[in-house]
Amino acid sequence: MQEQNDEIKRANNIIWNASSDYSFNSKIKAYDKNGKADLYLNYIIGAVHKYYDYSLLEGFFNYLKKDTNCELLKELTWIALENCTYKKAKNERLVLENLRRDYSKKFLDGCNPDLSFDIIDQIKIAHFERALGEKPNTTNLALTILNDLEFDEHMNTKQIISRMKEIIKVYFQYGPRFLSKNILPTSHKDRSIFQVKVKGANSRHNSFFKRPKNELRRAFSWLKSVDQINKYDRKFMQGYYGVSILQEPRIKALEKILCVGNHKNCHVHFTRGDFDVHIKSNISTVKHRDDVLKQREKNNIHYNENFARNNNNILKLTNKIKNVMLINRESSCRAERGKLIVGKIWRSLYLYDNKIFIKNLKNDVRDLTVDIMLDASLSQKNRQEIVATEGYIIAESLTRCQIPVKVYSFCSFHDYTIINLFRDYDEVDKNNRIFNYTASGCNRDGLAIRTALHMMKKLNCRHKMLIVLSDGKPNDMQCIPASGTNPVEYSYSDDMGVNDTALEVRKGLQQNGVYVLGVFTGRNEDLPAAKKIYGRNLVYIKSPKRFADIVGIVLQNKLNNMYE
């Protein structure tokens, strides 16, 4: 009984997270044949509530209760809702594409087409075959119905309901007392929602809500434990990402400063990625740790496979930075004190110009610190080795120039933004820790940049530079909270996320002695968003061979501006 209650809670938490409405009490929840809450389908249920008028949909489902086969028609409706909801949410929740593919594969692996005589079974199998990019092998009738069922993301709730009524009327001769018996066999009468015949079995189970037995792929394992965060909060974060390097009072004090405005109700977690053996672990946390080690190995292999090019980039970038530092390290100007210029004494007597002394200005490298922040969100999954290499090249070049550098990554999981420190300013021999970089979760860029700039404030140096390696596409599951003047919550993505991040960058640039530089690590279609965030302070590198040249030129310009 306790296990069953836990799975109900787990399903509710996934639904609440997707719907952004913790008051939502869904009558429909998704479980697999073992009674375990399904991740992908519970998320779809919550997303349906978020994007559509759920009260209208409930009214439609009540309307279907007039027929004895209402559960079958609900199932048909959910096929349509799954399709349009996925299309609407996939750009905001990048994990959904892979979660859907993974679910579709497991769904089809559990189906037995030879036992799927029912039209609904045929439609579902064809639907998930299409989700995998496969050509369905089914009847013309099933394909015709499926074509009409796969709504796009632009339809509103009323349009969906109207279209469903048309489909039911045309294909199923819906009436308050009967359905077309030649299409719908009597076996559907007591059938639960979203069922299908399975391999090696004569019985049915909740296959549409079937959860894969095995773990989801590493890149998406972070989303499975949404409910655990609610239960264990910081303990879970420490077990998953590493122990905190700050004490609880210090964290709470920082959150009062940082987690306000668009980031209200958010939290920050600072770690070095080290784990405490005394903190209880579960399957997902242990697997995540293993994945970090595997990714570190991949990062190292990628770097060493391109060692000559990477080493050449480091040498070139180091020389460019050194040249700037040597030119600007020492200069002089006339001043009212310093070493007397005998030939200028007359200016004081006749022109009342007291600047008859020369003062040497030393621009020591100790007057400059550089923070390198790496976007470690799931959108970087296919570029992890590249991002780690780029971060290492910049850090190693600055280190060889004796410029203090600090390197860390950021990502967000539920309402936590995780700052993972790889090396601090005085840890000149720790650049290899950058290869611990691994991608997971979402990215709340605005809060991460706000946090980085706040940490830099306390540095006792004249010039501070923040270099952000990011895809320029903020995307977090935690919404921007409602306010008195703005009662509607907005997802932290698209324009909302971009505008918030751009604002934090502008705030940083307005601080005396602070410079923010963005290095674009995303896809071409995301470049406009990155330009909006960083403006002229954005570096776009198309070829790894040009990395040192392009970054070097920008750093040269920035350093020259510092010492003007």
Which residues make beta-bridge pairs with 331?
361
Mean pLDDT by 10 residues, the chain (564 residues): 76 86 83 81 91 92 78 87 92 86 86 62 89 86 84 89 84 44 38 41 38 30 38 74 93 95 93 82 72 94 96 93 70 69 77 74 67 92 92 96 96 90 96 96 94 93 93 80 59 88 95 92 89 94 79 81 65
CA distances from 296 to 303, 433, 437 (A): 11, 9, 7
Helix ranges, 217-306 (H): 226-241, 248-258, 283-305
With CA atoms as reference, report the closest residue to 447 among 235, 272, 270, 264: 264
pLDDT of residue 541: 82
pLDDT tens, position by position, 193-204: 344 434 443 333
User: In 10 A of CB 483, how many CB atoms?
Assistant: 12
Q: Quick one: pLDDT at residue 487?
A: 52
Residue 236 Cα distances to 151, 224, 228, 286, 291, angstroms:
39, 13, 7, 12, 17
Q: Which two tokens mark 461?
A: 């140096």
d(CA 157, CA 59): 11
Whole-Å CA distances, 353 to 109, 350, 457, 545: 88, 8, 38, 53
CB atoms within 10 A of CB 265: 11
- Number of neighbouring beta carbons within 10 Å of residue 369: 21
User: For the CA atoms of the chain, what is the radius of gyration?
Assistant: 29
Instruction: Output the pLDDT for position 374.
Output: 97
Q: Tell which residue, 437, 340, 338, has the closest CA to residue 383.
A: 437
- Compute the distance between CA of residue 251 and CA of residue 499 in angstroms, rounded to an integer: 26
Predicted confidence (pLDDT) per residue in 31-71, tens digit: 877 788 888 898 999 999 999 998 999 999 988 887 666 77
CB atoms near residue 154 (< 10 Å): 9
Q: Round to whole Å and give the CA distance between 323 and 308.
A: 23
Written out in words, the top-level CATH class of the domain with range 224-321+365-562 is: alpha beta
Which amino acid does the sequence have at 494?
D
Distance CA 534, CA 518 (A): 6
The DSSP line for 157-206 is HHHHHHHHHHHHHHHH---SS---TTTS-GGGTTPPSS-EEBTT-SSEE-
Using an 8 Å Cβ cutoff, are 378 and 92 in contact?
A: no
- Note the pLDDT of residue 195: 43
At 114 the pLDDT is: 53
The residues of the chain that CATH labels 3.40.50.410 are: 224-321+365-562
From residue 333, how far is each of 3, 325, 352, 512 by CA, in Å?
A: 77, 18, 18, 22
Sequence-ordered list of residues with C-beta below 8 angstroms from that of 434, at least 6 positions apart, any chain: 374, 388, 391, 392, 395, 407, 422, 423
Tell if the pTM clears 0.85, that is, is over it: no
In sequence order, what are the beta bridge partners of 30? none
- What one-character-per-residue DSSP string does 317-366 give? HHHHHHHHHHHHSEEEEEESSSEE-GGGHHHHHHS-----EEEEEE--GG
Helix (H), strand (E), coil (C) string for 381-417: HHHHHHHHHHHHHHHHHHHHCCCCEEEEEEEEECCEE
Which region holds residue 200: left if phi is over 0, alpha if psi is between -120 and 50, else beta? left
